[in-house]
C-alpha cells in the first residue's frame, strides 16, 4: 500500500520533507504540491522522479481524490485553515509546527477533529523521534537518576536573520516546550522570561539571548537559554538534574581529531542536519500510521499545549512577571495516542 501525499508549501522544510519521502522513506508517494510561489512549486515538482500535480492552492489539493493525506509546510499563520480543511475532507494531515498561531486556533482544530470522530492530525514536533532524546528519556523512565528536580537547556543557532519579535519563543523555544513535557511526562504551570545583555549581532530590535524559566506541575524548574545568533553553531543542550545524578542529552556523534596541537570535534551548524534522522523516523511513522488510519505522534492536543505555553512565555517577556499557564481539561479523545500516551 502507498500513501498518496499532497504537500502545501515547498519552502525550506517542505522541500526537505518531499526529498526524504521520495528518496529515503517507504510507502509514501508525493503526488501533488502547491505553494503561493507557483514557480517554486513547479521547480520542486520537476525534481521528483515521478510526476506530481501542481495545484493552484491548498484547498484544491486537499479536495483532490488523488490525494490521500496532506503535509502542511507553509507559513505558520496558514496552518489552521489547511488543517481544518483536511479534517473536513476526512484526510490525515501532518502539520509542521506551529499547529496554529493561537491557542484558540488549536482549540478549533481539536473541536473539529473530535467532531469528526477519530484522530487525523499529527504535529511536526520531531525531537521526540530523535535518538539522543529517546536515550535520555529511557534513562529518566528507568529511574537511573531518581526523580527529576531541575533541567538546564539551551537552543542555540549560529544566526537567524529572519528571527524577529517573539519568534525566539514562538518559532524556536516551542521545540523545548514540546520535547521537555514529553521527556518529563509533565505539564507547565508558570513561565518567566529573563532578558540578559543582548548580542550586537542579532537583527535590529531582537533581544537575543533570552532565558525562559518554566515550572511544572511536579515542581520541576526548567531554565532554557534561547540564543539564535550565537555564531558558533547549531547547538541543542539538555541537562537533567535528578536526586541521584545528572543526565546529559548525548552530543551528535562526530570524529574527534588531534591535529595542529589541538583536540577537536566539529559542531553542526544547521537544524536540518542535527535532526535529519528524527525527521526520517517521524515521517516514516506518520506514513505507516496514516495507512492504518491511526495517529501515533504528537497530536493536536500537544500542538495546543505548546501554543498556550508559548503565549504565556511571550506575555511574561513583556510583563517581566511570572505568568500562570492554564490549560483546558484534556479531552479523553486525546488519551488514545498509543505511542506517546
Ligand atoms: P519557508 O518560508 O522556507 O517556506 C514556507 C513556504 O510556504 C514558502 O515557500 C511560501 O511561499 C509557502 N506558503 C506560504 N503561504 C502559503 C499558502 N497559503 N499556500 C501555499 N504555500 C504557502 O519556511 P520554512 O522554514 O520551510 O517553514 C515552514 C513551516 O515549517 C513553519 O511553520 C516553520 O515553523 C516550520 N518549520 C519546522 C521545522 C522543524 O524543525 N520542525 C524546521 C523549519 C521550519
Ligand atoms: C526553525 O523554525 C525550526 O523549527 C528549527 O527546528 C529550530 O531549531 C529553529 O530554531 C527554528 O527557527
**Burial (CB count <10 Å: 0-12, 13-18, 19+), residue 86:** buried
Distance 175 CA to ligand 2 centre (A): 8
Pick the CATH number of 128-272+308-324 from 3.40.50.2300, 3.30.360.10, 3.40.50.300, 3.10.450.50: 3.30.360.10
Distance 171 CA to ligand 2 centre (A): 6
Distance 78 CA to ligand 1 centre (A): 9
Reported as a single tens digit per residue, the pLDDT across 132-181 is 999 999 999 999 999 999 999 999 999 998 998 999 999 999 999 999 99
**Does the model's pTM come out above 0.95?**
yes
Closest residue by Cα to atom 2, ligand 2, is: 171
Reported as a single tens digit per residue, the pLDDT across 295-305 is 999 999 999 99
DSSP 18: H
Ligand 1 residue neighbourhood (C-beta within 6 Å): 8-14, 34-37, 40, 58, 73-76, 78, 96-97, 124, 126, 171, 271
Q: Which residue has the cell 517542505?
A: 14
Q: What angle do CA 96, 99, 105 make, to 5 degrees?
A: 155
3 state SS of 271? helix
Grid cell for residue 164 = 524577529
Q: How far apart are CA 96 and CA 84, in angstroms?
A: 14
Pick the CATH number of 3-126+277-298 from 3.40.50.11440, 2.60.40.1260, 2.40.110.10, 3.40.50.720: 3.40.50.720
Reported as a single tens digit per residue, the pLDDT across 215-272 is 999 999 999 999 999 999 999 999 999 999 999 999 999 999 999 999 999 999 999 9
216 φ, ψ (degrees, to nearest 5):
-105, 170
Residue 319: pLDDT band with limits 50, 70, 90: very high
* Cα 211 to chain centroid, rounded: 19
Reported as a single tens digit per residue, the pLDDT across 90-122 is 999 999 999 999 999 999 999 999 999 999 999
Reported as a single tens digit per residue, the pLDDT across 57-95 is 999 999 999 999 999 999 999 999 999 999 999 999 999
Reported as a single tens digit per residue, the pLDDT across 7-37 is 999 999 999 999 999 999 999 999 999 999 9
Could you check whether 3-126+277-298 and 128-272+308-324 share the same CATH topology?
Answer: no
Question: CB of 309 closer than 6 A to ligand 2?
Answer: no
The pLDDT score that the predictor gives to residue 93 is 98
Distance 170 CA to ligand 2 centre (A): 10
| Pair type for strands 221-227 and 148-156 | parallel
> What does the domain layout of the chain look like in residue ranges?
3-126+277-298, 128-272+308-324
Amino acid at each position: 500500500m502507498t500513501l498518496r501525499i499532497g504537500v502545501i508549501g515547498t519552502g525550506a522544510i517542505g522541500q526537505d520533507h518531499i526529498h526524504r519521502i521520495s528518496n529515503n522513506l517507504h510507502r509514501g508517494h508525493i503526488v501533488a504540491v502547491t505553494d503561493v510561489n507557483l514557480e517554486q512549486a513547479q521547480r520542486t515538482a520537476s525534481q521528483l522522479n515521478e510526476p506530481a500535480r501542481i495545484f493552484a492552492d491548498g484547498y484544491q489539493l486537499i479536495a483532490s481524490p488523488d490525494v490521500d493525506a496532506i503535509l502542511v509546510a507553509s507559513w505558520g499563520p496558514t496552518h489552521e485553515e489547511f488543517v481544518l480543511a483536511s479534517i473536513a475532507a476526512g484526510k490525515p494531515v501532518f502539520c509542521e509546527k506551529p499547529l496554529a498561531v493561537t491557542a484558540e486556533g488549536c482549540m478549533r482544530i481539536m473541536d473539529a477533529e473530535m467532531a469528526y470522530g477519530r484522530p487525523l492530525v499529527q504535529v511536526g514536533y520531531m525531537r521526540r523521534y530523535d535518538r539522543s532524546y529517546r536515550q535520555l528519556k529511557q534513562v529518566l523512565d528507568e529511574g537511573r537518576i531518581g526523580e527529576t528536580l531541575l533541567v538546564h537547556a539551551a537552543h542555540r543557532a549560529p544566526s537567524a536573520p529572519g528571527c524577529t519579535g517573539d519568534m525566539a519563543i514562538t518559532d524556536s523555544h516551542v521545540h523545548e516546550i514540546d520535547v521537555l513535557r514529553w521527556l518529563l511526562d509533565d505539564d507547565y504551570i508558570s513561565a518567566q522570561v529573563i532578558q540578559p545583555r543582548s548580542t550586537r549581532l542579532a537583527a535590529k530590535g531582537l533581544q537575543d539571548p533570552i532565558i525562559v524559566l518554566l515550572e511544572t506541575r511536579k515542581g520541576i524548574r526548567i531554565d532554557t537559554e534561547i540564543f539564535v545568533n550565537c555564531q558558533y553553531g547549531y547547538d541543542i543542550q539538555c541537562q537533567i538534574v535528578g536526586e541521584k545524578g545528572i543526565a546529559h542529552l548525548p552530543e551528535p556523534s562526530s570524529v574527534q581529531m588531534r591535529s595542529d596541537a589541538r583536540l577537536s570535534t566539529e559542531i553542526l551548524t544547521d537544524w536540518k542536519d542535527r535532526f535529519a534522522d528524527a525527521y526520517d523516523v517521524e515521517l516514516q511513522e506518520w506514513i505507516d500510521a496514516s495507512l492504518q488510519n491511526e495517529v501515533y505522534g504528537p497530536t493536536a492536543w500537544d500542538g495546543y499545549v505548546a501554543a498556550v505555553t508559548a503565549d504565556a512565555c511571550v506575555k511574561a517577556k513583556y510583563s517581566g512577571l511570572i505568568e500562570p499557564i492554564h490549560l483546558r481539561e484534556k479531552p479523553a479523545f486525546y488519551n488514545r495516542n498509543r505511542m506517546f500516551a
